[in-house]
């Protein structure tokens, strides 16, 4: 591989797509939004074989960018995807607008750019094998805001499942068996957080990315900060059913182990913002 390659993982709906957008504002970096389709990894592959497959795919992405050839991407519209989930609501949940497809960029000289690959559950599940090959950073967000998003988007996590994680982590899959949806969502949040904490990898809070206008992300990637527009968190209102579900989750939210990333007090503040 000729360019400098780093990878990003994170809790779903924690701002990893925002990170890609911030990175793509730089002149000498490309951030790819979930270019690897987990469904394309043969079902017979072990975790180590899957990690080898990912390494080969990343090598191909790098080569395609150098040559100016098409490559797979999580959104065929290009690298400037703002949010994979739109505002259209169907059956009570916001619909996914990102469509997997091919993207093509002008060719670039070797060693003239840095390449960042972002995948959430897949990279988290295969973290022990991937960190030996790539620098990795993890993105997290207050569990209250994450859960509110999970409750309102048309993704597997809305139904209490994280397919790539369950596929490559038998313990996670077993822990979800027989649990009701809200309990599964709490188990999944804790799974992400525990993987990140135990890895001792750099963990960046969404809230700090926003308050610093992306500077903490630059720092984590080893770059000098650049001037960007002011970032702010979008204020969303939630219906009574969603807030009632959130209220049911309060004991589980307060029992989460978030290390030093989120204290009970910070979780309570986020609950108070929702009037709970």
pTM: 0.96
pLDDT in tens, 105-136: 999 998 899 999 999 999 999 999 999 999 99
Domain count for the chain, please give it: 1
Residue range of the domain that includes 51: 4-273
62 three-state secondary structure: helix
139 three-state secondary structure: strand
CATH code of the domain containing 61: 3.40.50
Mean pLDDT across the chain, nearest whole number? Answer: 95
Secondary structure element (H or E) that encloses residue 95, with its range: strand 93-96
What angle in degrees, to the nearest 10, is found between the helix axes of 143-150 and 181-199?
A: 140
Residue 3 has pLDDT above 70, yes or no: no
* 153 DSSP assignment: B
* 120 DSSP assignment: S
Stretch 15-27: mean pLDDT, rounded?
95
Stretch 156-165: mean pLDDT, rounded?
97
pLDDT in tens, 203-238: 999 999 999 999 999 999 999 999 998 999 888 889
Residue whose structure tokens are 């960042």? 116
Contact at 8 Å (CB) between 160 and 176?
yes
The pLDDT of residue 81 is 87
CB atoms within 10 A of CB 179: 13
The pLDDT of residue 1 is 44
pLDDT exceeding 70 applies to what percent of the chain? 99
């Amino acid at each position: 591989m000729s360019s400098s390659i780093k990878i990003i993982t994170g809790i779903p709906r924690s701002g990893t797509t925002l990170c890609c957008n911030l990175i793509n504002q730089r002149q000498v970096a490309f951030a790819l939004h979930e270019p690897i389709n987990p469904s394309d990894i043969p079902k017979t592959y072990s975790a180590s074989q899957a990690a080898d497959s990912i390494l080969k795919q990343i090598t191909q992405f790098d080569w395609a960018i150098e040559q100016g050839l098409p490559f797979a991407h999580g959104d065929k519209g290009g690298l400037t995807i703002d949010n994979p989930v739109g505002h259209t609501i169907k059956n009570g949940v916001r619909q996914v607008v990102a469509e997997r497809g091919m993207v093509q960029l002008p060719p670039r000289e070797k060693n003239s750019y840095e390449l960042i690959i972002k995948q959430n559950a897949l990279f988290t599940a295969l973290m022990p094998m991937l960190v030996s090959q790539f620098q990795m950073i993890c993105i997290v967000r207050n569990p209250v805001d994450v859960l509110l998003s999970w409750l309102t988007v048309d993704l597997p996590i809305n139904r209490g499942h994280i397919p790539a994680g369950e596929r490559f982590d038998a313990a996670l899959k077993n822990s979800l068996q027989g649990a009701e949806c809200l309990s599964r969502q709490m188990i999944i949040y804790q799974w992400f957080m525990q993987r990140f904490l135990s890895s001792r990898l750099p963990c960046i809070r969404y809230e700090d990315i926003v308050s610093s206008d992306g500077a903490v992300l630059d720092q984590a990637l080893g770059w000098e900060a650049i001037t960007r527009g002011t970032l702010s968190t979008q204020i969303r209102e939630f219906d009574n059913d969603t807030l009632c579900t959130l209220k049911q989750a309060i004991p589980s939210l307060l029992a989460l182990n978030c290390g030093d990333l989120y204290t009970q007090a910070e979780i309570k503040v986020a609950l108070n913002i929702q009037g709970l």
